[in-house]
């Protein structure tokens, strides 16, 4: 009976915390959805590919690419144009088929194919390379099958020529026809001798080149890592700090003293900006070398302060509207998981279906990562930061919501 009483007590206590139950049930559902979506390798949009075919005989390869991609053909000296299309998001991938592509394959040698990709987005680049290899699979299998048949035909010809040579030697002993036959044998054997044995395993070799010129290539990894870490840290630390102030009646004493909510919000923002900046100072050297000296330090500092302030204010909102520490932790997890997925860390947001792509484009974490990439990898000046305005908009919005929450809720 004592066990039953204790179980009943736990049940009644849990039922009084209905928000806690709701969030516990919502968390595994959200994780399941995120997992299913992130492991789906099928893109939700057409993958646009800029193709420059300099080899008129590579028809089969072009058809193989068109079966999987939405191909936009580019003519002439096209490398600069393809890179520009990738930078302007007019194409996800650029491909150049060189003039001697088919000739090399016919000689049973490897042939390069040149890929141009968005080197500022490693997740997208990885998926595009995977899809490109899929499109090559059937083409390469057919190519190898054709090569095998060609080798067998050549060997058969050699055997026939050798038999003819033997017959002539037996009948005549010498002659121009014999010499011609022997020359053909020598040419065929030379062709087989020139064959690259690795052609059998990889006939087409992709040669990748990034479309962007990055001042600090490792800054891409630093921007992604810092965005995730500062979001998770800020949500947990700041929400806990606000709840601590509330439970100990600090907010009430603050209002009684006549201190405006604006001052309280600014103090929290500045303090946790400093804490999160220390995190950056620990992380960034791991992803950079002397190339960081080429970055614009003013734009780097501004982007860090804007990103840390946004996440600090978001953590403050969680603390304002959470009843206790447990709710705040669960709410932080519930926000962090979809933030990570929607931002394109698990799966490239460029390949999302259009409605989800729109959500990703306006999501805070996506714009934070883009802003940090511009300052940490591209080395843009303050005037060149394309994502600064949208992040400042989020900063002002969360600041206003925090002020309203403190004023009307507490």
Give strand ranges (E) for 16-110: 48-53, 70-73, 93-97
Three-point CA angle 12, 18, 21, nearest 5°: 95
What does the pLDDT look like over 358-406, one tens digit per residue?
888 888 888 999 999 888 888 888 888 988 999 999 999 999 999 998 8
| Dist CA 340 CA 354 (whole Å) | 18
| Dist CA 260 CA 85 (whole Å) | 51
| Dist CA 200 CA 151 (whole Å) | 12
Three-point CA angle 107, 109, 115, nearest 5°: 125
pLDDT value of position 308: 92
pLDDT value of position 290: 58
pLDDT value of position 155: 66
Contacts of 283 (CB under 8 A, 6+ apart): 222, 225, 226, 229
Kindly give the pairing relationship between strand 111-117 and strand 93-97: antiparallel
> Which residues does the chain have with pLDDT short of 50?
35, 39
**Average pLDDT score over the chain:** 78
In the DSSP assignment, the letter for residue 204 is E
Which is nearest to 101 in space by CA: 139, 150, 130? 139
pLDDT value of position 246: 83
pLDDT value of position 328: 82
**Domain ranges in the chain?**
48-210, 219-409
Residue labelled with tokens 């969360």 = 398
pTM (2 d.p.):
0.70
Cβ–Cβ under 8 Å, residues 124 and 210:
no
Residue labelled with tokens 């990738």 = 86
pLDDT value of position 381: 87
Residue labelled with tokens 């000046």 = 381
In the DSSP assignment, the letter for residue 100 is T
For the chain, what percent of residues have pLDDT higher than 70? Answer: 73
Question: 55 in helix, strand or coil?
Answer: coil
CATH 3.40.50.300 corresponds to the domain 48-210? no
């Amino acid at each position: 009976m004592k066990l039953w009483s204790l179980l009943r007590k736990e049940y009644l206590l849990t039922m009084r915390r209905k928000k806690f139950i709701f969030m516990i049930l919502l968390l595994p559902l959200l994780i399941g959805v995120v997992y299913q979506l992130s492991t789906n390798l099928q893109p939700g949009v057409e993958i646009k590919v800029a193709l420059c075919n300099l080899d008129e005989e590579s028809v089969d390869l072009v058809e193989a690419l068109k079966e999987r991609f939405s191909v936009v053909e580019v003519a002439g000296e096209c490398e600069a144009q393809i890179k520009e299309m990738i930078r302007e998001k007019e194409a996800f991938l650029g491909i150049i088929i060189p003039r001697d592509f088919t000739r090399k394959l016919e000689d049973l040698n490897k042939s390069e194919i040149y890929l141009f990709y968005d080197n500022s987005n490693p997740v997208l680049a990885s998926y595009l390379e995977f899809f490109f290899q899929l499109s090559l699979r059937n083409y390469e299998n057919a190519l190898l099958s054709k090569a095998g048949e060609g080798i067998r035909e050549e060997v058969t010809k050699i055997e026939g020529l050798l038999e003819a040579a033997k017959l002539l030697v037996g009948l005549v002993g010498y002659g121009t026809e014999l010499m011609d036959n022997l020359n053909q044998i020598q040419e065929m054997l030379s062709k087989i001798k020139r064959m690259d044995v690795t052609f059998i395993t990889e006939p087409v070799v992709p040669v990748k080149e990034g479309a962007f010129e990055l001042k600090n290539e490792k800054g891409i990894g630093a921007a992604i890592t810092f965005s995730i870490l500062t979001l998770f840290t800020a949500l947990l630390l700041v929400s806990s700090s606000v709840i601590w102030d509330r439970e100990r009646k600090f907010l009430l004493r603050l209002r009684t003293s006549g201190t405006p909510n604006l001052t309280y919000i600014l103090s929290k923002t500045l303090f946790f900006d400093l804490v999160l900046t220390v995190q950056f100072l620990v992380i960034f050297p791991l992803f950079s070398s002397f190339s960081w000296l080429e970055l614009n330090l003013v734009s780097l500092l501004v982007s860090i302060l804007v990103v840390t302030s946004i996440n600090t204010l978001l953590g403050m909102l969680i603390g304002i509207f959470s009843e206790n520490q447990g709710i705040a932790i669960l709410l932080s997890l519930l926000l962090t998981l979809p933030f990570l997925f929607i931002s394109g860390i698990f799966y490239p947001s460029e390949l999302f279906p259009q409605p989800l792509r729109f959500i990703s484009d306006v999501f805070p974490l996506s714009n934070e990562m883009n802003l940090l990439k511009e300052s940490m990898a591209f080395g843009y000046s303050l005037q060149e930061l394309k994502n600064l305005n949208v992040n400042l908009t989020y900063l002002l919005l969360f600041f206003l919501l925090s002020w309203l929450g403190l004023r009307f809720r507490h």
